[in-house]
Chains A and B, each alone.
Chain A
Amino acid sequence: MALLEVEDLRVSFNTPDGVVQAVRGVSYNIEAGQTLGIVGESGSGKSVSTQTIMGLTKGARISGRAVFEGQDLLTASPDQMRDIRGAKVGMIFQDPLSSLHPYYTVGWQIVEMIRLHDDMSKDQAMKRAVELLRLVGIPQPDRRVDDYPHQFSGGMRQRAMIAMAMALNPALLIADEPTTALDVTVQAQVLRVIRRMQEIFGTAVILITHDLGVIADVADEVLVMYGGKVMERADRRTLFFASHHPYTEGLLQSMPSYGGDRERLRPIPGQPPSLLAPPPGCPFAPRCVYVMDKCAEMPALDPVGEKPGHLSACWLPHNEADREAVRRRVAHVELAKSAGPAGA
């Protein structure tokens, strides 16, 4: 059985401008010990979907199911959720400075967290906090445990957050853009710590990011989200080398390739959709080069390609050869269109 099973999750918010449909029918599951990467641009619903599962979206209209270890988190009482949050599911966020309380020492905050869930003395809890800080690579943890968050550097704060999230040995760690605010060298340190913790404790990780590079580095399975829906799900290699959905293709093509040829980038034209009144059908259709009449109706997230577990929500032919034919036809039309303006 999967550790977490999310089924047809829908989240919407009432705003002065109307109802924002942030998540529109998302389903996925994650196995114990697995790393699931969720990629998507701003407004794709990637953060809201996990926050909702953890009961952190107040005032939202929620439907669907999110079964964690046999319990539906969406119907759990606030007391039940408090027991789960922190103890069974750890969370780290993008900005460690605003997730740590500036008035209290880092050690005190970890101790408080441990003692909230676990019956142990302050001294014992403090010992464990030091051990945890050592584990995530804070130098001289027995001294630094008495530091305040502002005395830590950005990378150290994020490590401290990881230490806190791992304090009760949770089965699942949700990391929401954990390295976005960090420099690349620090990002590499933090990703290594997460990976290491995962090896040691066998924790499952949901890693939310917009950076395909990070995904290629650490994810086992990848979920691509757009306009509040899941567009594609595949294992890491399949996603990068044999993706099916045109949005995934567009994302990969718009990245400056590490191979480094200075040819023109191929951005996805247009802007991400508004979730205020999303059109029926595929949210990517207005920006898609392969758009057809059928796209006015939302395709189901169906198995495609050869790899088991490769799912895509797109009307394009599911087998590679037929799809290639469509691609070539479209590329031909595109070429004719762009023949006019000179491309540098």
Chain B
Amino acid sequence: MATGAASEADPAPAAAVADGDDVLLRAENLVKYFPIKGTGLFQQKEYVHAVDGVSLSIRRGQTFGVVGETGCGKSTLARCIARLHDVTSGRIIFDGQDITKLSQRTMRPLRREIQMIFQDPIGSLNPRRRVGSIIGDPFAIHKLAAGSERKKRVQELMERVGLNPEHFNRFPAEFSGGQRQRIGVARALAFQPKLIICDEPVSALDVSVQAQVINLLADLQTDFGLTYIFIAHDLSVVRHVSNSIGVMYLGKVTEIAPAEELFRAPRHPYTGALLSAVPVPNPELSDQRQQIILAGDVPSPVAPPSGCRFHPRCPKAAPVCVAEDPPLEPRLGDGPEHPAACHLPMAEGENLADFRPSISEQERVVEVEGSLLPEGAEPEDIADALPARGEGGTP
């Protein structure tokens, strides 16, 4: 099982994917820390390690999905790429140009090319402005069109995203959730950007409406050759839209792979556990599969664990995982497009439930599942601790 993966020592793992004209965006060792306290003179500073050394590259016309749990840094990563946050260190190369240190003014023309769509279609639209003027904003800011020309362009956009152009003068509140998200899409689309970062674009929508928006995004991608970064916590949605997917855990990328390959042969145990936790809308499959339920919660990003950040919760954790941070590189003979940051990657068909960590108790989180029913206790013992039914309600 152990491979000589280390032999192909690769200096820039994620960038190893054929770099050249077809790469639209490349992030190199991107780091973003947020200071939280200790800003006083003699206090030690503490930081939230939101994004901690992320390298990836995204090809033109493709969709790169980012998955991970709350607090894993996926939204911060997106905001860094859009230059809404200044990065702490690392480089962002967009369309062959290093945009990491560009000033507000030099960044401005590039802002047209990188747009964002947000999760909350209500929060991202000003309730007191009419839809026509919201979508027309980009034209005004970049002084591209005014007057009737602007109105015409806005109405074209509205039509393109499936809104009635006659609703130009309505307020956001007069639209439904799905329609509001279409307004957000129209606004992002105003300049036919090269890259659209979608941060949980369909999470707030009902299933039937969610599908409408996903299809719209797919159509626009074909028509305008857009590149998407698609962030979502719903793995089946990400799988549906993405060409390749990056998995994040506590500020680091743990695995990147083509969508199908990630689901078929996850290498990182975290990916394996994450995939097994997704509820499957198919009773047949959900009865068969074996869920790996992770113990405990994600550790604090202020003081992330040493070595591999997943080691306290990992069923395969070994002493090496505590000591060394595994590099993101192809494992078990995978191609360069499928790197994983794991010392003990999973072989295909391997069952995580068969493993027990070989590290000391202190290095692990407390085993939660074990306490669900104490060792050797019968359900009846527990039930005895509670009142018999019907006796509880004495007034």
Contacts and interface: CB of A to CB of B under 8 A. Distances in A.
Interface of A: 41-42, 79, 83-84, 87-88, 117-119, 128, 131, 134-141, 153-156, 166-171, 183-189, 191-193, 196, 199-201, 210-217, 236-237, 240-241, 250-252, 254-258, 260, 262, 264-269, 271-272, 344
B386 A128 contact: yes
Contact of A254 (B177, B211, B279, B373): B211
B170 interface: no
29 contacts: A87-B393, A155-B297, A166-B386, A169-B387, A170-B392, A183-B233, A184-B69, A184-B233, A184-B278, A185-B273, A186-B297, A192-B293, A193-B372, A200-B373, A211-B279, A213-B281, A240-B282, A240-B283, A252-B281, A254-B211, A255-B207, A256-B236, A258-B280, A258-B281, A260-B263, A262-B240, A268-B208, A272-B176, A344-B219
Interface stretch (B6-14, B151-159, B363-371): B363-371
A185 B349 CA distance: 20
A240 B286 CA distance: 12
B133 interface: no
Contacts of A141: 371
Contacts of B374: 134
B261 to A, nearest CB: 11
Contact of B283 (A84, A216, A256): A216
A199 B240 contact: no
B388 A213 contact: no
Contact of B240 (A154, A191, A260): A260
A291 to B, nearest CB: 16
A269 B209 CA distance: 8
Contact of B206 (A166, A187, A201, A210): A210
A271 to B, nearest CB: 5
Contacts of A213: 236, 278-281, 286
Interface in B291-340: 291, 293-294, 296-297
Contacts of B297: 153, 155-156, 186
B222 A257 contact: no
B372 A254 contact: no
B46 interface: no
A139 B296 contact: yes
Those 4 A-B pairs whose CB atoms lie nearest each other, nearest first: A213-B279, A267-B211, A256-B240, A254-B211
Nearest to A153: B297
Contact of B372 (A87, A136, A156, A186): A136
B70 interface: yes
B41 interface: no
Interface in B129-157: none
A213 to B, nearest CB: 3
Interface string B326-361: 000000000000000000000000000000000000
A196 B394 contact: no
B293 A183 contact: no
B240 A83 contact: no
Nearest to B238: A256
B373 A271 contact: no
Contacts of B107: none
A200 B383 CA distance: 7
Contact of A140 (B70, B212, B274, B366): B366
Contact of B208 (A154, A240, A267): A267
B215 A188 contact: no
A187 B277 contact: yes
Q: Which of B208, B293, B294 has the most CB atoms of chain A within a 10 A radius of its CB?
A: B208
Contacts of B284: 237, 240-241
